[in-house]
Amino acid sequence: MLLAHLNRRLREREAASLQRRRRIAETPCAPHQRVAGEGGTRDMLAFCSNDYLGLANHPAVIEALADGARQWGAGSGASHLVSGHGRAHAALEEDLAALLAPCIPGCEALSFCTGYMANLALLTTLGDGDATLFADKLNHASLIDAGLLAEAKMWRYPHNRADLLEARLATCDTPVKLIVTDAVFSMDGDLAPLPELLALAERHDAWLVVDDAHGFGVLGEQGRGALAHFGLASERFIYMGTLGKAAGIGGAFVAAHPMVIDALVQMARSYIYTTAAPPALAHALRASIALIAGEEGTRRRGHLQQLIALLRAGLQAIIDRHPDLGWRLAESGTAIQPLIVGDNAAALALAAGLDARGLWVPAIRPPTVPANTARLRITLSAAHSDADVERLCAALEDLADQEDPT
């Protein structure tokens, strides 16, 4: 019965063009990768990773990981509350707390195995029966799942509509109120209006849970993230940063008031009932955080900003030459640069055309994004060169010419 049932569900997804497939990368995460395909392996130029600073394959980070393994062995052996919490984890948490302290005065940090688990921990622990969660409709799936698991009521507000949120906050009668938002939205690259949200939190005694998966390392002075980008500082921020994107390795952390951190250690099931990450990862992450916060990080962020400007100028020129195609650029100043095409089939055809030219850019379709906004989701990394971006623009220009011969 199970297999027949699964078969039916899988065929339904296939019929709706929703089936997914994994590609096997034969080389490390980098813009130029060898990828396994039907007729053997192919060299691809990829614009799809979240390795925004190019640290996933950075020699100093690789060396720190090897050094961490020599110093601390391979595994942690137990959960943090049993015996798996090592000096490397503690030192990483101190580094992260010091980095975020200008934005969250007096904060402490707690490290997690993944961002998904950190979000589960946050919303299930803070979102008890006395709380209401106010969550942006475009939040990441992990925040949505966490909200469903939490005892608290969840109200999802229309994307970035701080004005609509205010009315609900004013009439909310639970003692605890939590505003929950991505800082950088993953399919659009736009930012949450964090200054407005903080003002609302202060007016209505709410706390602000900020998921900065795509901002940590990339935005703000020293790569501190979205709070620093806006020049904000408040004890009301409960900040979640992930360490598998710009930090190039894996894991996540929460930086917040020490009482919030203690509550997570005492009560968060996705912190307590799981084996601590290998201490070598924490050791390597310290090297990666040092790069992010230092001169090399500043240089890499500068190069990334140049690439963003180059790509946007190139795409805008194509759009201006081919207005009939109806393509448009998303309002994004971040490393996530969607090219909105509209029609599902057109987005797929464009991704396929790029693929045939050795360029790897994913097409994103509804229901992941709203109807009629199918898009190419281009992500840039400091590991890209100007020539890489120019090659992408030239290929898109070529495809636009084919579509629109006028």
Ligand X SMILES: *Cc1c(COP(=O)(O)O)cnc(C)c1O
Rounded to the nearest whole angstrom, what is the least distance from the CB of residue 387 to ligand X in the complex? 28
Of 272 and 349, the one with the shorter C-beta distance to ligand X is 272
Taking contact as CB under 6 A, which single stretch among the options 128-136, 208-216, 258-266, 287-295 is the one that binds ligand X?
208-216
Of 76 and 142, the one with the shorter C-beta distance to ligand X is 142
Q: Kindly give the pairing relationship between strand 176-182 and strand 207-211.
A: parallel
Q: Is 32 a catalytic residue?
A: no
Rounded to the nearest whole angstrom, what is the least distance from the CB of residue 175 to ligand X in the complex? 27
**Residue 51 within binding range of ligand X, rule CB under 6 A:** no
Compute how many residues bind ligand X; rule: CB under 6 A.
14
Q: Kindly give the pairing relationship between strand 328-329 and strand 207-211.
A: unpaired
**Residue 140 within binding range of ligand X, rule CB under 6 A:** yes
Q: Is 214 a catalytic residue?
A: yes
Rounded to the nearest whole angstrom, what is the least distance from the CB of residue 87 to ligand X in the complex? 23
Residue from 136, 211, 287, 310 touching ligand X (CB under 6 A): that is 211
Q: Residues 56-95: x/- map of binding to ligand X (CB under 6 A)?
A: ----------------------------------------
Residues 225-284 that bind ligand X (CB under 6 A): 242, 244, 252
Taking contact as CB under 6 A, which single stretch among the options 6-14, 101-109, 110-118, 340-348 is the one that binds ligand X?
110-118
Residue from 33, 49, 160, 186 touching ligand X (CB under 6 A): that is 186
Contacts (Cβ under 8 Å, ≥6 apart) of 26 = 33, 34, 35, 36, 41
Q: Is 153 a catalytic residue?
A: no
Residue 375: enclosing H or E segment and its boundaries?
A: strand 374-379
Strand, helix or coil for residue 191: strand
User: Phi, psi at residue 375, to the nearest 5°?
Assistant: -150, 160
Of 174 and 275, the one with the shorter C-beta distance to ligand X is 275
Q: Residues 118-137: x/- map of binding to ligand X (CB under 6 A)?
A: -x------------------
Catalytic pick among 89, 245, 257, 283: 245
Contacts (Cβ under 8 Å, ≥6 apart) of 259 = none
Taking contact as CB under 6 A, which single stretch among the options 91-99, 101-109, 211-219, 351-359 is the one that binds ligand X?
211-219
325 touches 403 (CB < 8 A): yes
Taking contact as CB under 6 A, which single stretch among the options 188-196, 207-215, 286-294, 303-311 is the one that binds ligand X?
207-215
**Residue 288 within binding range of ligand X, rule CB under 6 A:** no
Strand, helix or coil for residue 136: strand
- How many other C-beta atoms are found inside a 10 Å radius of the C-beta of residue 45? 20
Residue 308: enclosing H or E segment and its boundaries?
A: helix 295-321
At which residue do the structure tokens 């490390």 appear?
A: 28
Contacts (Cβ under 8 Å, ≥6 apart) of 93 = 108, 109, 110, 111, 253
Of 271 and 327, the one with the shorter C-beta distance to ligand X is 271
- How many other C-beta atoms are found inside a 10 Å radius of the C-beta of residue 19? 11
Catalytic pick among 111, 142, 186, 381: 186
> Is residue 102 packed enough to be buried (19+ CB in 10 Å), middle (13-18) or exposed (0-12)?
middle
Of 190 and 318, the one with the shorter C-beta distance to ligand X is 190
> Is residue 88 packed enough to be buried (19+ CB in 10 Å), middle (13-18) or exposed (0-12)?
buried
> Catalytic site residues?
186, 214, 245
- Kindly list the residues in this chain that would bind ligand X in the complex (CB under 6 A): 114-116, 119, 140, 142, 182, 186, 211, 213-214, 242, 244, 252
